[in-house]
Structure 1
Amino acid sequence: MDRRAQFSILNALAAPFTAIGRFLVLLAEANPRMRELDRLSRVSDEDLAAKGLTRDGEIRRIMGVNSYL
């Protein structure tokens, strides 16, 4: 069996797992928390500090983590 045939067979076997992985990524990206974390990642620490916020505090707020943890 030549390398192209082996590669083709491996691609065919991996296709369902690739599709499932892409679907799970789409689900995660559609989550409102994920979108909010993405927005937060684009804000500088200086901008957060100017608003009296911390990155850690904002992550806790977004994820719904209680402050006593």
Structure 2
Amino acid sequence: MSTTNNVQIGMGRTSLKQKIDIYFAGLGMGLNPYGLRRARMGEIITLEMKSDAQLATMGLTRDDILPHVFRDLLTA
């Protein structure tokens, strides 16, 4: 029997992958976020696992997670 380490995290009806793709599409960034998503997925998952109260202590809401993780790409 083979085992795989496939983790699928869903955010309501939207998967985390879809949520990230939608985020970048909404910014109008013409790039494939695969590499960016892969490199930062650990941080995204860590933040998504926190409670709303823990995020608030950090000054974040759930909607702030992706802008926070990718903030270096969005500064001018």
Shorter-chain TM-score: which interval? 0.3 to 0.5
Query: Which is higher, the Rg of structure 1 or of structure 2?
Result: 1
Q: TM-score, normalised by structure 1?
A: 0.40
Q: TM-score, normalised by structure 2?
A: 0.38
More strand by share: 2
